[in-house]
Structure 1
Amino acid sequence: MREHPRRAVALVSALAVACAAVLAWVVTGPDDAARGPRAASSPAPSGTGLPAGPDLTARFVDAYVDPDGRVVRRDQGGDTVSEGQAYAMLLAVADRDEATFDRVWDWTERELVRPDGLLSWTWRDGAVVDANSAADADVDAAHALVVAGDAFERPDLRAAGGRLATAILDHETRTTPLGRVLVGGQWADAPPYRVNPSYASPAAYEVIGRATGDRRWTELADGDRAVLGALLDEAPLPPDWAQVTEDGRVEAMPPSGGGSVGYGLDAQRVALRYAASCEPADRGVVRRLGAAVRTDRDDVRGVYDLGGTPTVAWQHPLALTSAAAVSGVDGDARAGSALLADAATLDERSSTYYGAAWVALGEQLLTDPRRLGVDCEGVAS
């Protein structure tokens, strides 16, 4: 959990899972986003049985999206976070499923939108329990809205995406010596700026910038890439969390809720988000990761230190999907496809909200990002 002057830690709860001796925890803020277990534990399945089959979006929606549009983290206490709502919106628009998109966005707009236009992070038992924002969720939701506006010929959705995009730039970005950077949320508005490298989404920035005409999105892509580059100059892999100081230094940091600096289930999204970009510089970041990321299926693990040494024995669908992104950028499409299939199979056996989401999102980002408005035709790689 993060620590900052505007709020105190509200809750840490442990959930014992029979026959597994593992822990999953629910926290109240996006700085320690309850991705899964602490480093010594293996992921706790939800008990949700997902059917085998190629439609990964339908599997996620059927398992985790309630009829009213609320995305439920069934393996993490049954709460809802803005990140999950945004994931479902991205998947629905990619699938051109307007009905699902509408019910997810309607619930999100009704329950999570803050007075400043950002989204509250956590909802539980009928009310928001953490009103702070999570910048990755806001970016993903704005991306989904502007694409949906075009895909469904809905000016209302495009306008909503534009409003959220402006709120992100105004409240969740800061100008540093490295350029404009995305901070963790509106709570991270003072130096040293708390940042999560995996929140940066250059492909989304390009789509949102094109839709809104706001050049600050290009500035943000450049600044976030500079932050990531500074981290990779210090270690082969980026950390889950870092900070940017007032004089422009970038430092790897542990999660505020405790634990070690590592390349875990936050940071492993970096490869997927940057591999989806059309910019050669962004794909170059993924190639840099390839020097340390393990891409042999049997060697992939859920958490590594920043040098690339595994620190846990368990696997996770996101880790396999992230390895697929590295393989794909390196030109090994066959290996990438096999890793995506392995990730889907792993989540079928012991599904988690986060794993199921990233199996579906990873497939979309790596195989057909055009459905999310990303068209790299004519862009040199």
Structure 2
Amino acid sequence: MIEILAGIQSHRRRKVLGLLAGCAVLPGLSACIGGDMRRSKSPADWPAWRDFVQVQIQQDGRVVDFITTDRRTTSEAQAYAMFFALVDNDAVLFERIWQWTHRHLMPADTADDALLPGWLWGEGSVGKQALLDPNSASDADLWMAYALLEAGRLWRRTDYVLDGRRLLQAIAMGESTAVAGFGPMLLPGKEGFTARDWTRFNPSYVPLQLLRRFALEPDLHGDWALYPQQAAALIVRSAPVGYAPDWVRWNGTAMVVDPATGPIGSWDAIRTYLWAGMLAPTEPMRGRLLNALSGPLRSLHAVGGLPEKVNVLTGRGEGAEPRGYAGALLPYLKASGAGDLLRAQSARIPAVSSYRSGGLPYYERILILYGQGWLEGRFSFDASGRLLPAWSLTSGGAK
């Protein structure tokens, strides 16, 4: 499985979750939507997200990456879309995305089965849409569980809370392990990431704010209270000169270069800076992480951009900075107090009106939605990892 995963572009390899419970379901919409479903902002108030919905999300709730030959859908894409639908207070779209995810990415559908979702759906060799890889990816699973739990809290949907908890239980059972010499840790997926003398990690898969939120859930199987400090240790120990790698291996005593990918930080690693930048100012590990991830600051000061690929051992880079990187770096630069760099990176982000003509792809759109949306105050996270969407603070919605 390692050989297979190594040959796939890293930012496409994720998986999704879930099981529906507690609600009768109408086509495309749950029949038991509760709480304040009003949108505090009009659809035009978030043009980048509105354009994403129109271009990337089908009517049935499937998010499609159109630049891929198999017109793929990943569990990552479904999870991110659910998160942004929640930020936008769009309960109908959230339910539609979740329903498609549940029907198509889950390999089984029984009330007692809390299975992890397969990460890749697309056109197979005969041109038929199908689940192409049933392996899971924990980054998608974590974001999906988070979206469900927070949707349940904010919209007062007990069925979503139950679904989120089921997924966390499945993650604890299938995507976690006790790593010799390191301690309890979440794995990138259920298969292909461990061997007798090494464990493979992806630092961008473990956003601390999500792990903080999961630790609030009572009576869950797993080491959720320990995972935030373990994730921070992973990030710090894998960034020797301030740059996060896409992939890294633990050899029993140290974090070492992953032979499948080499010492490269690029499309996966960019999210490590994004998640760190969005941490609450009162997060105890925020300063430690930002100090450990000082490489992009140096690159931006030196050459005005972050190269597409960086050697995390030497700091040498290659390739021009993608447009999506600029979006991902906004929270990081804000948290680092780098106002001049923040303004320069903001200027690199294209206008929404040029997204389609400029061919801005799915993943770069996602990075911009996260970074720019956070900077614009559309959402934030508190020190316990709870989501604070702007609508919940201004419209009298659930807190």
- Partner residue, 2:212: 206
TM-aligned CA deviation for residue 104 of structure 1: 0.5
Please give the per-residue CA displacement for 1:333-374, whole angstroms capped at 9, x wherever unaligned: 564355245334497233111001111122344543149834
Matched, 1:75 2:67: yes
CA contact (8 A) 1:179 1:220 kept: no
* Unaligned segments of structure 1, at least 5 residues: 4-8, 13-26, 36-51, 376-381
TM-score (normalizing by structure 2): 0.75
Equivalents in 1 of 2:100, 2:236: separation in Å?
38
The equivalent of 1:299 in structure 2 is: 305
Distance in 2 between residues matched to 1:317 and 1:71, nearest whole Å: 21
CA distance in 1, matches of 2:219, 2:336: 33
Q: Is the 8 A contact 1:174 1:189 kept in 2?
A: no
1:170 counterpart letter in structure 2? M
With over 3 angstroms needed to count, the CA separation of the structure-2 counterparts of 1:334 and 1:110, relative to structure 1, is farther
For 1:303 and 1:374, how far apart are their aligned partners in 2? Answer: 31
In the TM superposition, residue 291 of structure 1 has moved relative to its aligned partner by 4.3
TM superposition outliers: structure 1 runs of 4+ over 6 Å: none
Which residue is equivalent to 2:138? Answer: 135
CA–CA distance in structure 2, aligned partners of residues 324 and 128 of structure 1 = 35
C-alpha distance in 2 between matches for 1:338 and 1:32: 28
Q: Which amino acid aligns with 1:92?
A: A
Residue 251 of structure 1: aligned partner? 256
- Within 5 Å, which residues of 2 pair with 1:29-68? 32-34=10-12, 54-68=46-60
- Contact 1:147–1:373 (CA under 8 A) maintained in structure 2: yes
- RMSD over equivalenced CA pairs, Å: 2.8
Report the counterpart of residue 110 of structure 1 in structure 2: 103
Structure 2, unaligned runs of 5 or more: 14-43, 109-113, 124-128, 389-399
Structure 2 counterparts to residues 1-381 of structure 1, below 5 A: 2-3=2-3, 9=4, 27=8, 32-34=10-12, 54-77=46-69, 78-115=71-108, 116-125=114-123, 126-176=129-179, 177-187=181-191, 188-191=193-196, 192-212=198-218, 214=220, 216-232=223-239, 234-245=240-251, 247-254=252-259, 256=260, 260-278=262-280, 279-293=283-297, 294-295=299-300, 298-306=304-312, 307-312=314-319, 314-333=320-339, 335-336=341-342, 339-340=345-346, 342-345=348-351, 348=355, 349-366=358-375, 367=377, 368-370=379-381, 373-374=386-387
User: What is the rounded CA distance, in whole Å, between the counterparts of 1:66 and 1:122 in structure 2?
Assistant: 17
2:201–2:249 Cα contact (<8 Å) kept:
yes
Higher Rg of the two aligned structures: 2
The number of residue pairs the alignment matches comes to 331
190-199 or 92-101: bigger deviation: 190-199
Deviations 1:259-291 (A, max 9, x none): 542110101110111222232313421233224
1:239 CA displacement: 1.0
Q: What TM-score does the superposition give when structure 1 sets the normalisation length? A: 0.78
Equivalents in 2 of 1:287, 1:106: separation in Å?
Answer: 41
SS in 2 for 1:218: coil
One-letter code aligned to 2:47: D
